[in-house]
Amino acid sequence: MGEEHLEAQAIVVGAGPAGLMAAHRLALEGLEVIVVERGQYAGAKNLSGLLYSTVLAQAIPDFSSKAPLERPVCKRGLGLLGPKDFSVLSFGSEKWTCPPHNHTWVVYRAQFDRWLASQVEEAGGTLLEGAVVEDLFYEQEGSFKKVAGVRIRGEEEAFRAPVVILAEGAVGLVSERARDSLGMRPGEKPQSYGLGIKEVWALAASTIEERFGLEPGCGAAMEWIGSPFKGLVGGGFLYTGKESLALGMIVKLESLVRAGLSPQDLMEGFKANPEVRRYLKGGELLEYGAHLIPEGGPQAMGQLCHNGLLIVGDAAGLVNASMYHEGSNLAMLSGRLAAEAVIQAHLLGDFSRKSLSLYERMLHESFLMEDLSRLKNIERAHLVFPRLMAELPSRFTGLLVDLFEQAQVPKKDIRKEAFRRAMDGMPKLRTLLDLWKMRRMMG
Amino acid sequence: MALEEKLYRVRYEVDPDHPHIRVKQELCSSCGRRVCTFICPAGVYVESPGDPGQIQVRHENCLECGTCRVACGCEGIIWDYPNGGMGVRYRFG
């Protein structure tokens, strides 16, 4: 590397949506920014569900004609699964079939993130792929201690910059070390996680459109809760790609550990459900993957900036773990806001915590924190969900099936018997209370 | 579908000489629950066939999800990032 220090005006650690959006904004502003990614390419380690694109659309208005998007979601389904019965509420809108498609897309992140990285390069940013940031590089001590760059594995010299944006994702080793070394205030509660498992299945476009009842090019997103998840806090999803399906589940890790169940068995049980199985018929598995999702909400976030440092995206715990499961859009928002704070800091020549805390203030004023602050009760979900998740879906689908049973008895008796079976052994008050609590957890 | 069959569809850049996971065998040998052996989505942790007291780590199958770090109640797993460009390499993700 010679005598000269490697130096940039900002370093971003991690080329996911949060880091790339930050870098994109900084590069457009004319700042010298470098994104360090440990994967062979941006997105190599990433996995996701749907992409909500409201923040992306602001930064790159014509993204939908350039980005590798699979299908827009024109139809959604929320379903309940019993061991043998099912029920689905399917809904959509003519509006969703036209641009901007309600800003809801099925994407494959290994492809999407790579494209977003190319946009950063086009804007003038630099990408350093296949390099592991081992730790941050610090200067000074005590309350003046500040981040002044990063240490890359295998390099003796630190890579310097007056400000570093940590966008490492859910497994944030450098963020953890940084919080310790800088004595950053931890969250009121430790972070808690959802475990996401995903399988990508190849299937012909025409078969997908036929099976889901879709116009050519349109997509669907199905989500289920119920008996395959054995009363754990979690559910399954199925999204349509162009010529593939993304099938998976998200289960609260703590509840999985407590129950002593393996994600593999749970996933296979979900896939074996007759309502789910039929979508995959004739398909071929292309890829399998797993990823953690930080779901602790604002109480687990703690301090997100310090002298010369900002933490964004999953590394900051910015996920809306309600029924919307919004992560990458919030990541992009936090990346953009962090970039705004860095731009201000460069103008003022002040990279202190006080200066960079503009980021935290902007976060708190955004829709993101409004959404997240409503999730405070989600931590207690496991107290309510086992009953609701295990019992209600099967009872409700059972009730529907029983109500339409055909026999040579008066319909009045069939209805009476159906309700008797559905309510058998269910204390009414507790059920209503559970439903009310769950409503509050939806955010 | 067996887990092995699923892992077969995942692309990895294998780095056999630089395992990024180590376990503290002295803790594992006295660990009653062994959460890692059922919680890992890639089946990385198995009881050693020769010595059930030990945990064998198949680091080359790791999906780098981080589940084991969170789920091991004994802090018995030392998990680091694989070297640059190594490890799991999703094509879809």
Q: What is the pLDDT of residues A175-184, one digit of tens each?
A: 999 999 999 9
Mean local confidence (pLDDT), A336-358: 98
Mean pLDDT over all residues of chain A?
Answer: 92
Pairing of strands A146-152, A133-139: antiparallel
Measured CA to CA, the distance from residue A18 to residue A25 in angstroms comes to: 11
More confident residue, A319 or A238: A238
- Residues with Cβ < 8 Å from A204, sequence gap 6 or more? A243
Is A329:A53 a contact under the CB 8 Å cutoff? yes
How large is the angle between the packed helices A428-441 and A381-403, nearest 10 degrees? 120
Alpha-carbon distance values, A300 to A48, A237, A291 (Å):
21, 26, 19
Going by the DSSP 8-state scheme, the letter that residue B82 receives in this structure is P
Mean local confidence (pLDDT), B60-65: 97
Selecting from B3, B70, B92 the residue whose C-beta is nearest the C-beta of A110 gives: B92
pLDDT at A348: 97
Measured CA to CA, the distance from residue A298 to residue A324 in angstroms comes to: 16
Give residue A40's identity as a one-letter amino acid code: Q
Residues of A in contact with B62 (CB under 8 A): none
More confident residue, A11 or A379: A11
E strand residue ranges, A123-268: 126-129, 133-139, 146-152, 159-160, 164-166, 193-202, 219-226, 234-240, 244-252
Residue A388 above 70 pLDDT? Answer: no
Nearest 5°: the CA angle A244, A170, A389 is 65
Give A5-55 pLDDT, tens digit per residue: 789 999 999 999 999 999 999 999 999 999 999 999 999 999 988 999 999
CA-nearest residue to A241 within chain B is B92
Residue A351 above 60 pLDDT? Answer: yes
pLDDT at A443: 55
> CB distance A263–B71 less than 8 Å?
no
> CB distance B93–A256 less than 8 Å?
no
Residues of A in contact with B7 (CB under 8 A): 288
Residue A249 above 70 pLDDT? Answer: yes
Q: Indicate whether this complex's ipTM tops 0.95.
A: yes
More confident residue, A137 or A368: A137
CA-nearest residue to B6 within chain A is A288
Residues of A in contact with B20 (CB under 8 A): none
Residue A64 above 70 pLDDT? Answer: yes
The closest alpha carbon to A221, from A196, A243, A238, A199, belongs to A238
pLDDT at A83: 87
The share of chain A scoring above pLDDT 90, in percent, equals: 78
Q: Which of A5-9, A64-68, A161-165, B84-88 shows the lowest per-residue confidence on average (mean pLDDT)? A: A5-9
- Residues with Cβ < 8 Å from A416, sequence gap 6 or more? none
- Residues with Cβ < 8 Å from B27, sequence gap 6 or more? B74, B75, B76
Residues of A in contact with B64 (CB under 8 A): 45, 171
How large is the angle between the packed helices A109-122 and A17-28, nearest 10 degrees? 10
DSSP B2-27: -HHHHHTTS-EE--TTS-SEEE-HHH
Q: Which of A302-316, A351-365, A369-383 shows the lowest per-residue confidence on average (mean pLDDT)? A: A369-383
0.95 exceeded by the pTM? no
pLDDT at A1: 44
pLDDT bin (cut points 50, 70, 90) of residue A2 is very low
The closest alpha carbon to A234, from A81, A402, A353, belongs to A81
CA-nearest residue to A49 within chain B is B93
A121 by Cβ neighbours in 10 Å (0-12 / 13-18 / 19+) ranks as: middle
pLDDT at B58: 96
Mean local confidence (pLDDT), B40-68: 95
Give A206-230 pLDDT, tens digit per residue: 999 999 999 999 999 999 999 999 9
- How many Cβ atoms sit within 10 Å of the Cβ of residue A140? 10
pLDDT at A68: 97
Residue A238 above 90 pLDDT? Answer: yes
Residues of B in contact with A287 (CB under 8 A): 9-10, 90-93
More confident residue, A239 or A48: A239
Measured CA to CA, the distance from residue A24 to residue A406 in angstroms comes to: 62
Residue A96 above 60 pLDDT? Answer: yes
pLDDT bin (cut points 50, 70, 90) of residue B32 is confident
CB neighbour burial string for A247-269, b if at least 16 within 10 angstroms, e if fewer: bbbbbbbbbbbeeebbbbebbeb
pLDDT at A4: 64
Mean local confidence (pLDDT), B68-91: 96
pLDDT bin (cut points 50, 70, 90) of residue A428 is confident
Measured CA to CA, the distance from residue A421 to residue A411 in angstroms comes to: 15
The closest alpha carbon to B85, from A159, A42, A117, A119, belongs to A42
Tokens for A121?
A: 């390069």
pLDDT at A312: 98
Residues of B in contact with A286 (CB under 8 A): 9, 91-92
pLDDT bin (cut points 50, 70, 90) of residue A326 is confident
Selecting from A40, A246, A256 the residue whose C-beta is nearest the C-beta of B89 gives: A40
Is A16:A43 a contact under the CB 8 Å cutoff? yes
Residue B22 above 80 pLDDT? Answer: yes
Selecting from A131, A262, A288 the residue whose C-beta is nearest the C-beta of B7 gives: A288
Residues of A in contact with B67 (CB under 8 A): 193, 195, 253, 290, 292
Give A133-147 pLDDT, tens digit per residue: 999 999 999 989 999
Is A284:A202 a contact under the CB 8 Å cutoff? yes
Taking the CA of residue A22 and the nearest CA in chain B, the distance in Å comes to: 21
Preceding omega of A100 cis (within 30 degrees of 0): yes
Q: Mutating which of B14, B80, B90, B91 best tests the A interface, going by the most A Cβ atoms within 10 A?
A: B90
Residues of A in contact with B5 (CB under 8 A): 285
> CB distance B10–A44 less than 8 Å?
no
Taking the CA of residue B41 and the nearest CA in chain A, the distance in Å comes to: 6
Going by the DSSP 8-state scheme, the letter that residue A101 receives in this structure is G
Count of A-B CB contacts under 8 Å:
123
Is B54:B48 a contact under the CB 8 Å cutoff? yes
CA-nearest residue to A113 within chain B is B93
Residue A263 above 80 pLDDT? Answer: yes
